[in-house]
Structure 1
């Protein structure tokens, strides 16, 4: 049975829990674009669970980038034509606005040549070609055949990537030498005989599926050849980076105003006043530090510093778990408890999404991240912890807020609420649109929400939350300061921000092992605009909530926070400019 939504409630599960709508011409364009992108960018297909592409790799050459740009340009034309041909309902209005912003900016970045210098320490083809293997199904022989096909296809994909970076050299559009050097180290590690690829094809997951039959023997042989091909592909990349790209790479880390403004819009889905945001970042950092210092005195006495409180918490055996098995179990227990407590009280969580798998990642970079469920929910949402080598003890006081950030009410709830709108939102809205400022901003908003709901009343857990908030505020200052060459406060050296001043600043504001801080430092320098999108996104989410609350109070109504969250999350991931416009319309 189809239930039509009424104006003003489209995509609002609090008003129409089982709402569906007849697909429109706009939906048809959006759905077709997702299928095109799945074909042209198979890594995306695997990430979101679109079947039929797990054996494929993208064309990373200039021609491949051109083909994707042509498809984006055609989709944008089709959106405009469909929007002009018929009235738009509430859902279509949001889709059109979001696609105009996202697809238009994708083309802007392509035409500016951003593809040609796509190399950094965390989110470039160097990492993506390996990381996608973590998301691939491995439960059947066919699954392992797909793994083998991808491994054996890596030399071709890597050749295309190198061709694009060579085109960047020819045009003078090159990454910073710091990113190239880090890329060389990462590629050399993946090229080693005992690299991830070797472990993958000889691991327990493969052994659990591939028996001693003739058919499985052929698959095992293909996997062995694939692991060798993958290692050789990364060795080729490392040689190219070292011999060709490093000698001509950009000496300066800063990307400058033009590139930074474009990247900031890309990660936020909104244009912000960069100088005002930088000043706000300094103010927000000072505010969080003052809050943190007050909590530190609760923990370790009236004269205690933050460092004293950290020492006290780290010495408390009740706040330490030892070993990755215990860490995973603690993550799972904490996540499960949050889901049980919040479901039906603060949020309505679909039954299929009340399970979040907590896993230890096969990598060792130090990051903690979330991967969403596949569209058909056959692959669950997962929280991953990439534990650095030699790290065996983990302070739970630091990380309870991280579980809320990655799980519920953070990313897992965010993706889950959008997935629950399958009958309302088209494929692009549910699967194809990811905006960092929206998603990561919500996750930081979720951390503060859990504090306000009483789940971080323990001073240690609250200090851990503030520790993360401080780091995210510092990133606003760091990122805008360095990449735009803004004035540095006297306490951080005065003059103009540069990488050396930023290192001292970061070490003073991030309470983590130096190896982790170094990775983050290199990440911010090589991925402009992304790191600040968390805290700026949180700011825009909070402003949208406060505006909705003010509108309700002006009407003499009590503000319904649960309903606000339902309406907002039901929109799916959209540019923050679209989010704020739509929530203002609904307020």
Structure 2
């Protein structure tokens, strides 16, 4: 990779050696446009203009068209030679990502996508959070996409039916959760689609003109059709798919190993990783107990420290307006403190917009900026119904995870890297282990830099690290059917992990409301391999950094961690094996 040639002033892009796009870049850029054409929802997520009125074909034919495009681009890449290090990383990353996508397709995994958080059931609704709504044209796009949603839903149902014919059906727990979510979106009075098209955003743009009246009418029709489509999905899931769904949550070693590679971009020894997860969990608990003693006195438990923090009025926020303002203030302060000192943040990335999400699931997430930064990077907090009080000690580390130096710096820096990276590298490639691993790495980095020295804030960081370590154990244990440690077997005669053992284990290691813990457990059971990618990704990031430090010291050089971070983030999101190879 080309590297910075001179130090930058705070808030200015880092100077780079000019680079002429290569033949591999041309192939990668063309592939992004092909994907955008076949998957307009992905185009919206990437922030590419011109696709917001269209809908993705979620039928078996749609997935096969994407697979054909994957085969075609891999064939093209086989006939070109890299001209520099940037090309070499692109070639390795595309072959790994696209090749794995084909493996998943050939295994029929794309025909059985159903869980409680990340499947077409949610995607068809969540994409509207990312669509522009500031102009009449934007609302025309919303109306057109709503009109196309029923066809996409019918395609999704056809895919689930085709997957079932191949013996690929989500576990009954996920099917039932799907029914529940679909029913909520099918309610003609309270559905998101109904409230969205009648909400303040639409009212602020659509005036009383004849043209706007027509758009409003199309929006109402589209919302009603979307509601009906989710009703059809709920009925299909309940009446047709549920009777075919297995009761076992675990997917088995073969499917899990493929999923793990997908989320990490690396192949790991699953048993070794499971054992490491248990060791890491014990280490984090010990660190928590040491911090708890600082808060509540020698010998105090973590629970006693948490009670003190939760009762501290200086650490409370009342209402979502206060929450959003605190998120923004904390994020802005981190950007100002880190820029030009520990990172050189490109100018467009200095802006991060903190939002209260229109959903109410309890999740906190990040959406990257659009290609031209007209849509800024955004941190979203989805507040559950009835929750009005928030504790800052739990969440300062979350702001660093989702913002800077976490996802916003990582994603924004890649999007801004037009001078070196093609559009596939900047916009289209996302590897969970790389991204979520970096975000956890960023949390620990902020602690190391002194930004979490307050014992409460540090306990909050460790609280999140504990949950992430616990789910490495749970996820691998349940899906591979490994034996649980003695203390988590309860009265069961079967020593193997299952949902009941996982529930007791998770409750003991996650300091959150039980409704959140239940949602999280369902997520891990229905999305195998994804949850461990956070903590395992952090481990691989730390191993990569430590290897770079050891290599520098072996050469008699002082290790420059700021330069390491700069070089690593300038690669964009790639599989972790590719990352290690590029930084070696």
TM-score range, shorter chain: over 0.9
Q: Describe the SS at the equivalent of 1:512.
A: coil
8 Å Cα contact 1:472-1:532 kept in structure 2:
yes
Distance 1:526 1:12, change over 3 A: farther
From 142, 146, 149, the counterpart of 1:147: 142
Deviation at 1:352, TM superposition (A): 1.4
CA distance in structure 2 between the aligned counterparts of 1:151 and 1:208, rounded to whole angstroms? 20
CA distance in structure 2 between the aligned counterparts of 1:19 and 1:66, rounded to whole angstroms? 40
Match for residue 77 of structure 2? 79
Deviation at 1:303, TM superposition (A): 2.1
Deviation at 1:153, TM superposition (A): 1.0
CA distance in structure 2 between the aligned counterparts of 1:536 and 1:424, rounded to whole angstroms? 29
Distance 1:234 1:13, change over 3 A: farther
CA distance in structure 2 between the aligned counterparts of 1:122 and 1:275, rounded to whole angstroms? 27
Deviation at 1:306, TM superposition (A): 0.5
Match for residue 3 of structure 1? none
Deviation at 1:385, TM superposition (A): 0.1
8 Å Cα contact 1:314-1:395 kept in structure 2:
yes
Deviations 1:110-153 (A, max 9, x none): 00010121100000000000000000000111100000011111
Deviations 1:4-46 (A, max 9, x none): xxxx525888696143311111001100110000010111100
| Matches for 1:397-408 after TM superposition, within 5 Å | 397-408=393-404
CA distance in structure 2 between the aligned counterparts of 1:522 and 1:188, rounded to whole angstroms? 18
8 Å Cα contact 2:452-2:458 kept in structure 1:
yes
Q: What's the TM-score, normalizing by structure 2?
A: 0.97
CA distance in structure 2 between the aligned counterparts of 1:286 and 1:382, rounded to whole angstroms? 34
Q: Does 1:137 align with 2:132?
A: yes
CA distance in structure 2 between the aligned counterparts of 1:40 and 1:20, rounded to whole angstroms? 33
| Matches for 1:330-341 after TM superposition, within 5 Å | 330-341=326-337
8 Å Cα contact 1:11-1:571 kept in structure 2:
no
Q: Does 1:113 align with 2:117?
A: no
Match for residue 103 of structure 1? 98
Match for residue 4 of structure 1? none
Match for residue 550 of structure 1? 550
CA distance in structure 2 between the aligned counterparts of 1:547 and 1:172, rounded to whole angstroms? 44
8 Å Cα contact 1:481-1:488 kept in structure 2:
yes
CA distance in structure 1 between the aligned counterparts of 2:355 and 2:5, rounded to whole angstroms? 32
Deviations 1:537-560 (A, max 9, x none): 000000000001111111111110
Match for residue 48 of structure 1? 46
Q: Does 1:470 align with 2:466?
A: yes
Match for residue 562 of structure 2? 562
Q: Describe the SS at the equivalent of 1:82.
A: coil
CA distance in structure 1 between the aligned counterparts of 2:6 and 2:583, rounded to whole angstroms? 15
Q: Does 1:307 align with 2:303?
A: yes
Match for residue 5 of structure 1? none
| Matches for 1:526-541 after TM superposition, within 5 Å | 526-541=526-541
Match for residue 2 of structure 2? 9
8 Å Cα contact 1:410-1:442 kept in structure 2:
yes
8 Å Cα contact 2:323-2:390 kept in structure 1:
yes
CA distance in structure 1 between the aligned counterparts of 2:432 and 2:416, rounded to whole angstroms? 21
**372-381 vs 190-199, which deviates more?**
190-199
Deviation at 1:170, TM superposition (A): 1.5
Q: Does 1:228 align with 2:230?
A: no
CA distance in structure 1 between the aligned counterparts of 2:4 and 2:220, rounded to whole angstroms? 48
CA distance in structure 1 between the aligned counterparts of 2:229 and 2:383, rounded to whole angstroms? 26
Distance 1:484 1:12, change over 3 A: farther
8 Å Cα contact 2:5-2:16 kept in structure 1:
no
Q: Does 1:452 align with 2:445?
A: no
Match for residue 190 of structure 1? 185
CA distance in structure 1 between the aligned counterparts of 2:344 and 2:416, rounded to whole angstroms? 10
| Matches for 1:151-230 after TM superposition, within 5 Å | 151-193=146-188, 194-230=190-226
CA distance in structure 1 between the aligned counterparts of 2:556 and 2:6, rounded to whole angstroms? 24
CA distance in structure 1 between the aligned counterparts of 2:440 and 2:66, rounded to whole angstroms? 32
Match for residue 11 of structure 2? none
8 Å Cα contact 1:12-1:567 kept in structure 2:
no
Deviation at 1:514, TM superposition (A): 0.4
RMSD over equivalenced CA pairs, Å: 1.1
Structure 1 stretches of at least 4 aligned residues deviating more than 3 Å after TM superposition? 10-16
Deviation at 1:420, TM superposition (A): 2.5
8 Å Cα contact 1:34-1:428 kept in structure 2:
yes
Deviation at 1:435, TM superposition (A): 0.1
Deviations 1:205-245 (A, max 9, x none): 10110000000000000000011001000000000000000
Match for residue 475 of structure 2? 479
Deviations 1:523-550 (A, max 9, x none): 0000000000000000000000000111
Deviations 1:145-185 (A, max 9, x none): 00001111111000000001111122211110100000000
Q: Does 1:461 align with 2:457?
A: yes
Q: Does 1:321 align with 2:314?
A: no
Q: How many residues align?
A: 574
CA distance in structure 2 between the aligned counterparts of 1:53 and 1:400, rounded to whole angstroms? 36
Match for residue 267 of structure 1? 263
Q: Describe the SS at the equivalent of 2:79.
A: helix
CA distance in structure 2 between the aligned counterparts of 1:11 and 1:541, rounded to whole angstroms? 21
| Matches for 1:351-370 after TM superposition, within 5 Å | 351-370=347-366
